[in-house]
Amino acid sequence: MTLFGSLPDLTTFEFNVVDNMFSLTVATMGAAALFFFFGRTLVAPKYRPALMVSGLVVAIACYHYFMIRLSWQGAYKFGEDSFTATGKGFNDFYRYADWILTVPLLMVELIAVMSLAKGLARPLLIKLVVAAALMIGLGYPGEVTNDWKTLVLFGVLSTVPFLYILYVLWVELGKAIATQPEAVQTLLSLARIVIVVTWMFYPIAYAIRGDSLPGAIPGIVPEKSGLGVVGTQVGYAIADITAKAGFGLLIFFIARTKSELLTEEERAEQVKAAGVMV
Amino acid sequence: MTLFGSLPDLTTFEFNVVDNMFSLTVATMGAAALFFFFGRTLVAPKYRPALMVSGLVVAIACYHYFMIRLSWQGAYKFGEDSFTATGKGFNDFYRYADWILTVPLLMVELIAVMSLAKGLARPLLIKLVVAAALMIGLGYPGEVTNDWKTLVLFGVLSTVPFLYILYVLWVELGKAIATQPEAVQTLLSLARIVIVVTWMFYPIAYAIRGDSLPGAIPGIVPEKSGLGVVGTQVGYAIADITAKAGFGLLIFFIARTKSELLTEEERAEQVKAAGVMV
pLDDT tier at A211, thresholds 50, 70, 90: very low
Q: Give the type of residue at B248.
A: G
Task: Using DSSP, state whether A88 is helix, strand or coil.
Answer: coil
To test the contact with chain B by mutation, choose from A11, A14, A34, A62 the residue with the greatest count of B C-beta atoms within 10 A, namely A34
pLDDT tier at B224, thresholds 50, 70, 90: low
The answer to whether A270 contacts B275, with C-beta atoms less than 8 Å apart, is: yes
Q: What is the pLDDT of residues B161-186, one digit of tens each?
A: 999 999 999 999 988 999 999 989 99
B40 and chain A in contact, CB less than 8 A: yes
Q: What is the pLDDT of residues A162-192, one digit of tens each?
A: 999 999 999 999 999 999 999 899 999 999 9
To test the contact with chain A by mutation, choose from B1, B96, B277, B278 the residue with the greatest count of A C-beta atoms within 10 A, namely B277
A42 and chain B in contact, CB less than 8 A: yes
Task: Using DSSP, state whether B145 is helix, strand or coil.
Answer: coil
B275 and chain A in contact, CB less than 8 A: yes
The beta strand positions in chain A, using DSSP E, are 10-11, 76-78, 82-85
**What number of H helices and E strands is found in chain A?**
10, 3
pLDDT tier at A50, thresholds 50, 70, 90: very high
A38 CB-near residues (< 8 Å, 6+ apart): B37, B40, B52, B55
Whether this model's ipTM surpasses 0.95 comes out as no
The answer to whether B277 contacts A259, with C-beta atoms less than 8 Å apart, is: yes
- Nearest-angstrom CA–CA distance, B21 and B8: 19
Q: Rounded to the nearest 5°, which phi and psi values hold at B77?
A: -125, 150
In this predicted structure, the answer to whether residue A3 has a pLDDT above a threshold of 80 is no
In this predicted structure, the answer to whether residue B189 has a pLDDT above a threshold of 60 is yes
How confident is the model at residue B221, as a pLDDT? 52
Residues of chain A in contact with residue B275, where contact means CB-CB under 8 angstroms, are 267, 270-271, 274-275
Among the partner-chain residues A42, A267, A275, the one whose CB lies closest to the CB of B48 is: A42
Q: What is the pLDDT of residues A17-32, one digit of tens each?
A: 999 999 999 999 999 9
Q: Looking at the complex, report in whole angstroms how far the Cα of residue B60 sits from the nearest Cα belonging to chain A.
A: 6
User: How far out from the chain centre does Cα B162 lie?
Assistant: 14
- Nearest-angstrom CA–CA distance, A278 and A44: 9
How confident is the model at residue A224, as a pLDDT? 56
Task: Please give the full DSSP string across B193-212, using - where no structure is assigned.
Answer: HHHHHHHHHHHHHHHHT-SS
The answer to whether A16 contacts B67, with C-beta atoms less than 8 Å apart, is: no
Residues of chain B in contact with residue A274, where contact means CB-CB under 8 angstroms, are 275-276, 278
Residue in B118, B58, B63 with CA at minimum distance from that of residue B251? B58
The answer to whether A42 contacts B52, with C-beta atoms less than 8 Å apart, is: yes
| Domains (range + CATH), chain B | 12-274 (1.20.1070.10)
Q: Is B278 or B106 the better-scoring residue by pLDDT?
A: B106
Q: What is the pLDDT of residues A97-107, one digit of tens each?
A: 999 999 999 99
Mean pLDDT on A229-234: 87
Residue in A90, A97, A72, A78 with CA at minimum distance from that of residue A20? A72
The answer to whether A23 contacts B59, with C-beta atoms less than 8 Å apart, is: no
H or E segment to which residue B77 belongs:
strand B76-78
In this predicted structure, the answer to whether residue B71 has a pLDDT above a threshold of 90 is yes
B171 and chain A in contact, CB less than 8 A: no
Q: Give the type of residue at A159.
A: T
B64 and chain A in contact, CB less than 8 A: yes
- Nearest-angstrom CA–CA distance, B52 and A275: 23
In this predicted structure, the answer to whether residue A135 has a pLDDT above a threshold of 70 is yes
The answer to whether B276 contacts A20, with C-beta atoms less than 8 Å apart, is: no
The answer to whether B97 contacts A31, with C-beta atoms less than 8 Å apart, is: no
